Amino acid sequence: MGSNLIDIWVRVYNGSPKIFIPGTKFDVCFTILSTLCLSVVRALSTFIYIRIFNFDPTNRRTLEMAASTTSAIHSLLLVPVLWQLLRDQPFVPSAPIANAPQRYKDGVTAMLQLCTGYMIYDFIFMMKLEGWTIHADDLAFAAHHFVTIFVMTQTRILGAGHVFTMNLMWSGEWTNPLQNLLYVTKYAIQMTPDDSFVHMIHPYVEMAYALFYLFFRAVVGPGLIVINTFDLLFTKEGRKNIPFKVSLLWCPMTAGIIIGSIPWTIEAYDMILDGLGNVKYHKDFDYGPRFGGL
C-alpha cells in the first residue's frame, strides 16, 4: 500500500508543471500548487463547519476548527508516504540522494514540496487570522515554520540529508491528526449541547492525543535527534555529505523544535495522570481574549 502511495504522488508530481527559480533547476511549482490546494481545503472545511454543521461563522473557534482539519489532512497525506520512503532506502541521515532511483528522488521531492507548501499556507492564514500582526505568543509558531522551510529547502539544494529531514518530519507529523482532532473537539464542546456526540468522544480524543504526543516527543523525537546529530557531526561520511557549517545549523535548530515542545509534552503527561474523568480542555476552559470569552 505504501509503495502504491509513493507511485501515486510521483505521478502527481511529474504530471504537474515545473516552475524553476531563474538560473537554477530548483522547481517551486509543486510547492505553490500544494499551498493553493491546502488553501482550498481550508475554505471547504470552513464551509462545512458553517453551512453543514451550523457553527457560528463569527466565532474564532469555528475558524480554528477549520484550520485544524486542514492540518490533519495534510499530515494524513504526508506520514504514510514518508514512512515508506524512509523504509525504501538505507537509514543514513546524511546520505546523498544522487544514486537513489528516480522514483525515490521524485517521491522525496514531492513530499518536501508538499510540506513546504503547507508551512507557507499555514503561515499566511495565521497572519490573516491575526490581522497581519505577529503577536508575542506567535513567535514560536513562526520560528517552527521558518526552521522547517529552511531545512527542507537546504536539503533539496544540497541533494543530501533527505533522510535526516524526513525522519524528523515523520516523527513530528505523526501526532498531528490526533492533536488537531483534539483542537476540533475542544472548541466544538464550547459551541454544542452537552448531550452531543462531540462531548462523548472528547475525553477519549484528549487521552489518545496525550499518549501519542508524550511517546513521540519524549522518546521518538529525542532519539532521532541523537541519531541524526551523531551521523552528521561525528561520522566521516556525515561530515563529507553535509557541510559541517550546515550541520552546525541543522542540529541545534531541529533540536530546538523538540525543546520548544517541552511545555506541551509536560501537559500531555499531566493529561494522562488526570485520566478520562478530568479533561484539561473542558467546556468552560478560557482560551484567552482572542476568543472573546464563551
Q: Can you tell me the distance from the alpha carbon of 271 to that of 267, in angstroms, rounded to the nearest whole number?
A: 6
* Helix, strand and coil in the chain, % to nearest 5: 75, 0, 25
Nearest to 188 by CA among 172, 201, 207: 201
**pLDDT tens-digit map of 114-143:** 999 999 999 999 999 988 888 887 888 888
pLDDT-derived band at 1, boundaries 50, 70, 90 = very low
Q: For residue 14, how far is the Cα from the chain centroid? A: 24
pLDDT at position 293, please? 56
Q: Can you tell me the distance from the alpha carbon of 42 to that of 69, in angstroms, rounded to the nearest whole number?
A: 8
Mean pLDDT of 250-260: 93
Q: Can you tell me the distance from the alpha carbon of 43 to that of 45, in angstroms, rounded to the nearest whole number?
A: 5
Q: What is the mean pLDDT of the chain?
A: 95
Would you state the cell numbers that stand for residue 137, as one nine-digit string?
505568543
Would you state the cell numbers that stand for residue 238, as one nine-digit string?
556525515
Tell me: pLDDT of 3 over 70: no
Percent of the residues in the chain that have a pLDDT greater than 90, as a whole number: 89
**pLDDT tens-digit map of 217-234:** 999 999 999 999 999 999
Please answer whether residues 160 and 94 qualify as being in contact, where contact means their C-beta atoms are separated by less than 8 angstroms. Answer: yes
Please answer whether residues 140 and 262 qualify as being in contact, where contact means their C-beta atoms are separated by less than 8 angstroms. Answer: no
pLDDT-derived band at 2, boundaries 50, 70, 90 = very low
Q: Where are the domains of the chain?
A: 2-291
**pLDDT tens-digit map of 157-183:** 999 999 999 999 999 999 999 999 999
DSSP-derived 3-state class of residue 39? helix
Helices (DSSP H) in 130-220: which residue ranges?
139-158, 162-173, 176-188, 197-215
With the CA atoms of 1, 78, 155 and 36 taken in that order, what torsion angle do they form, in degrees rounded to the nearest 10? 130
pLDDT at position 138, please? 82
Nearest to 86 by CA among 5, 179, 180, 149: 5
Please answer whether residues 272 and 214 qualify as being in contact, where contact means their C-beta atoms are separated by less than 8 angstroms. Answer: yes
Least confident interval from 92-106, 123-137, 265-279:
123-137
**pLDDT tens-digit map of 15-56:** 999 999 999 999 999 999 999 999 999 999 999 999 999 999
In single-letter form, the type of residue at position 168 comes to L
- For residue 8, what are the CA distances in angstroms to 15, 67, 88, 103? 11, 26, 16, 11
CA angle in degrees (0–180, nearest 5) for 174-105-84: 35
Please answer whether residues 60 and 291 qualify as being in contact, where contact means their C-beta atoms are separated by less than 8 angstroms. Answer: yes
Orientation of helix 244-260 relative to helix 221-234, angle to 10°: 170
**pLDDT tens-digit map of 68-92:** 999 999 999 999 999 999 999 999 9
Nearest to 175 by CA among 284, 268, 86: 268
Please answer whether residues 151 and 119 qualify as being in contact, where contact means their C-beta atoms are separated by less than 8 angstroms. Answer: no
Would you state the cell numbers that stand for residue 22, as one nine-digit string?
531563474
